[in-house]
Structure 1
Amino acid sequence: MANIESQIFASYLRNPDLYDELYNREGKISEVYQKLFNLYGEHSISDYINLNSKAKSSFFNQGITFQVYDDKTVQEKIFPFDLFPRIIDANEWEIIEQGSIQRSKALNLFLWDIYHDKKILKDKIVPLDLITSSANYLDQMNGIDPPGGIYNHISGTDIIKHKDGQYYVLEDNIRCPSGVSYVICNRTALKKALFGVFNHYKTHAVTNYAENLLDLLETVKPNGVDVPNCVVITPGMYNSAFYEHSYLAKTMGVELVEGRDLFVENDFVYMKTIKGPEKVDVIYRRIDDQFIDPLEFKPDSSLGVPGLFAAYKKGNVTLANAPGTGVADDKAVYTYMPQIIKYYLNEEPILNNVHTYHCSRPDELKYVLENIQELVIKPVDEAGGYGISIGNRLTTDEIAEVRKVIKDNPRKYVAQPIMSLSVHPTYIDETESFEQRHVDLRTFTVLGKDKEFVLKGGLTRVALKRGNLIVNSSQGGGSKDTWVLKK
């Protein structure tokens, strides 16, 4: 391991076996980071501790929190934020952006097809039973035409940079992808703490997300509506992402509502106000499918709106994302993404998949069961890093338990090689120093009618525990500001 001699980086240890984004292939500070490295190096560690404390206070005062659930408790935490930003140059970002758009468009076409003509299933490109057995496939969506032809209005694509220097997609998230509010708040906090540093780079803005989201949502308004009334619907203040729900509603300038604030009459949706009922045309929903309408789905749900799905079926309201989109971010469907892109777009994937084994295939199941210690095992329908097993971290007894769980329900699990996520200098409170930590990137793509937008930054998530490969906030991860440089 090698040392860097610079004030706050003096104790930074670089493991050359890991892909450290601060360095180039020759082992020197990368050109894109050199100016930043020098500017940060002018600070003492006590300066940095003070700046870090101010950033934490900023998050606390703004109420930037998330909630973590376990079997017994619910904890509200400040979202951990690291002040040393990640930089992505314009050429690399162009690949990431075009790859994210390509996947989002292909997934939208795939969703239209499986709920209409089912050509990809009839042509046996994707197995029929893979779709019908997905927990997120909704029979109720068959034959429904969503306004504007869009299913996945908002997509979150999780991308890693491997030690070979290439970007790979870990998974697609198109149910209710979260985290975009932290992207914007990270930028605001960094500017407040280190404004002089930020001014040395020409970086794309991220604070334009809300206006672009609203603009694209308005393009998928129901037929016959001139100026749509949009709202954000939330499960309520106890939801883990409630801060984001309220933040997006506020920055878009629309109402934040709960199910009890809406009602359906004659297959139209209305919001209760002190001035009387107000028609609602577009609902950005942060409630899962099964809870949106107790008359159609989960009958004991108090989160949704009775009759909402009937209004949606008649084209009188837009739901973003559309119900049933979750079938396409099933991690088993992910294994077919190269074929899906080729089938609908006649293009090769811009961003590669990580090689993935689906345990419903007998030969792949056999391989997985024999090689668990070399693989990451993931449930196909979980989010937030829950249910993941990293084989080389498991004891013999734990491997035996994972093997049993997979055998009991092979359809529910996929496996991937243990990828070496790139690392990034990250300030660690406990040691009061910078250390290498693994990072990934979630991009946010918004599709409208004949329009698309990718937030030029995305959410860099960082695994704050040494050696940990799971970056989700629910698993102890934090985040960094992501600077996409202008050409």
Structure 2
Amino acid sequence: MKTHENQPTFSSYQNDPQFFDEIFDENDNVKDIYKTLLNLYSEHSAQDFALLNNKAKASFFNQGITFQVYGEHEIKEKIFPFDLFPRIIPPEEWEHIEQGVLQRSRALNDFLWDIYHDKNIIKEGIVPLDLINSSVNYLDQMIGLDPPGGIYNHISGTDLIKHSDGEYYVLEDNIRCPSGVSYVICNRTALKRALFGVFNHYQTHTVTDYAQNLLEIIESVKPQGVDNPNCVVITPGIYNSAYYEHSYLAKSMGVELVEGRDLFVENDFVYMKTIRGPEKVDVIYRRVDDLFLDPLEFKPDSTLGVPGLLAAYRQGNVCIVNAPGTGVADDKAVYTYMPEIIKYYLNEEPILKNVHTYHCSRPDELKYVLENVEKLVIKPVDESGGYGISIGNKLTKEEIEKVKTTIQASPRKYIAQPIMSLSTHATYIEDSESFEPRHVDLRTFTLLGQEKDFVLKGGLTRVALKKGNLVVNSSQGGGSKDTWVLKK
């Protein structure tokens, strides 16, 4: 453990050699790519950063950049915590990431087409049938349905970590309604407002082109015979945890933000209610979960969806982005088969590594998990936002026994992974008014379209603000920082 007293703002910075530090090397020297940035930051006093941090928080609050946290007894709205020190990714490193996440997105799309059509990967014994049939996200309504352009996961969020070996590993794939991209853009804006001068010293790729590329992607999967598609974003409403993002993306793309009550179906076509009369809708970027999309097909008491929507989709008269039923492919149990899925559909070796994963539905792996809970991270296969995760070495003996009982009651619902050593990154800590190492991950965003694909050159670096914490999700007290992908 070493400190950096020659830079006052980093006086509390203590390297822990068991983790990969992205700023300092194993000899405690600043890595070349960060030298200029660290020198620029060291010109500011602790008081300067306290003021800048408050300025950034005020900016986020004034823009309404918040999220909902769901507790046992209440729902809280919080400002999304933003860190002042950016993460830098060199071009050759990013090229590896970009190729890897694009490979995964394409393989997952092929997998979805197959399991809703011929099921060849199941017939050949590569993925077991009961794994698919037992997934709560596998929708019988999607069997044999051909989405426009043959695309299911138009938008994918891939969560990556950098391990102590310096290699990137994929923690999970998110292809139902991946969120967080609006924070990527807002982080860039906030940092430019607070410390604009630092951008003069680095050539970084823009992240503000996401909305334009998203619009082009969703327009490319318009129904046949439509020249100028009318696109909308459908939201569950203002009380949804990601409502800010829904409204931000709709505004950025220049399309309408609607709720289910704003749409109706007639003769298998979808229309939007307007003061000028009904307007036909061709593409719906949905941020509503599958089972709430259409009360005639799924939950009959849902007021969030549109009655008859799936019938219109089935007829090819509207495209839904992402397609219903994609959640079966981001099931954390399916994740264990990703290397085989990539090889099967693309005839390629995986570019990005999987974290070794134990699926508790397999008796031998269940036995290992139950005997080694204290060494593992236990995750439910169908949750998001960091909910339901248990980190074994943080649990008491009583809590370990409770986790075992929970797993045994429903083994299919849980996977386990080794406790990975997430890399650390300099993060501004209000209590000490200095920068300290905190664990980070990276969520990338990939778009698949009929005419082109796109990976946002940057991503959401999420940071665990509590010392020693490995859970980076905002719902669990995490924040985020601007992510710079450097140009060649």
Determine the C-alpha separation between the residues in 2 that align with 1:2 and 1:370: 36
Q: Match for residue 240 of structure 2?
A: 239
- Which amino acid is the alignment partner of residue 3 of structure 1? T
Determine the C-alpha separation between the residues in 1 that align with 2:150 and 2:343: 20
Q: Match for residue 305 of structure 2?
A: 304
Q: Match for residue 338 of structure 2?
A: 337
8 Å CA contact 1:233–1:287 kept in 2: the answer is yes
Q: Match for residue 424 of structure 2?
A: 423
Q: Match for residue 3 of structure 1?
A: 3
Could you report, residue by residue, the CA deviation over 1:247-294 in whole angstroms, capped at 9, with x for unpaired residues?
000000000000000000000000000000000000000000000000
Map 1:55-454 → 2, pairs under 5 A = 55-454=56-455
Map 1:437-476 → 2, pairs under 5 A = 437-476=438-477
3-state DSSP of counterpart to 1:157: strand
- Which amino acid is the alignment partner of residue 2 of structure 1? K
8 Å CA contact 1:7–1:43 kept in 2: the answer is no
| Number of aligned positions between the proteins | 487
3-state DSSP of counterpart to 1:143: coil
3-state DSSP of counterpart to 2:417: strand
3-state DSSP of counterpart to 2:284: strand
Determine the C-alpha separation between the residues in 2 that align with 1:23 and 1:346: 38
3-state DSSP of counterpart to 1:181: helix
3-state DSSP of counterpart to 2:437: strand
Could you report, residue by residue, the CA deviation over 1:181-229 in whole angstroms, capped at 9, with x for unpaired residues?
0000000000011000111100000000000000011110011100100
- Which amino acid is the alignment partner of residue 404 of structure 1? T
Q: Which deviates more, 173-182 or 423-432?
A: 423-432
1:70 deviates by 1.0
Determine the C-alpha separation between the residues in 1 that align with 2:432 and 2:32: 28
8 Å CA contact 2:221–2:449 kept in 1: the answer is yes
- Which amino acid is the alignment partner of residue 444 of structure 2? T
Unaligned residue ranges in structure 2 (runs of 5+): none
Could you report, residue by residue, the CA deviation over 1:273-327 in whole angstroms, capped at 9, with x for unpaired residues?
0000000000000000000000000000000000000000000000000000000
3-state DSSP of counterpart to 1:14: coil
Determine the C-alpha separation between the residues in 1 that align with 2:56 and 2:18: 32
3-state DSSP of counterpart to 2:462: strand
8 Å CA contact 1:125–1:339 kept in 2: the answer is yes
Determine the C-alpha separation between the residues in 2 that align with 1:483 and 1:433: 22
Q: Which deviates more, 169-178 or 430-439?
A: 430-439
Identity %: 76
- Which amino acid is the alignment partner of residue 127 of structure 2? V
3-state DSSP of counterpart to 1:228: coil
Determine the C-alpha separation between the residues in 1 that align with 2:163 and 2:393: 18
1:432 deviates by 1.5
3-state DSSP of counterpart to 2:201: coil
Could you report, residue by residue, the CA deviation over 1:106-156 in whole angstroms, capped at 9, with x for unpaired residues?
000000000000000000100000001000000110000000110000000
Determine the C-alpha separation between the residues in 2 that align with 1:435 and 1:306: 52
TM-score of the superposed pair, with normalisation by structure 1: 0.99
Q: Match for residue 483 of structure 1?
A: 484
3-state DSSP of counterpart to 1:239: coil
1:7 deviates by 2.5
8 Å CA contact 2:250–2:257 kept in 1: the answer is yes
8 Å CA contact 2:49–2:433 kept in 1: the answer is no
Could you report, residue by residue, the CA deviation over 1:365-390 in whole angstroms, capped at 9, with x for unpaired residues?
11000000000000000000000000
Q: Match for residue 32 of structure 2?
A: 31
Determine the C-alpha separation between the residues in 2 that align with 1:25 and 1:223: 57
3-state DSSP of counterpart to 1:3: coil
8 Å CA contact 1:173–1:329 kept in 2: the answer is yes
1:17 deviates by 2.2
Flag as ranges the 4+ runs of structure 1 deviating above 6 A.
Answer: none
8 Å CA contact 1:7–1:42 kept in 2: the answer is no
Determine the C-alpha separation between the residues in 2 that align with 1:179 and 1:19: 25
The alignment yields a C-alpha RMSD, in angstroms, of 0.7
- Which amino acid is the alignment partner of residue 413 of structure 1? Y
1:25 deviates by 4.2
8 Å CA contact 1:222–1:318 kept in 2: the answer is yes
Determine the C-alpha separation between the residues in 2 that align with 1:476 and 1:430: 15
8 Å CA contact 2:19–2:163 kept in 1: the answer is no
TM-score of the superposed pair, with normalisation by structure 2: 0.99
Determine the C-alpha separation between the residues in 2 that align with 1:56 and 1:473: 15
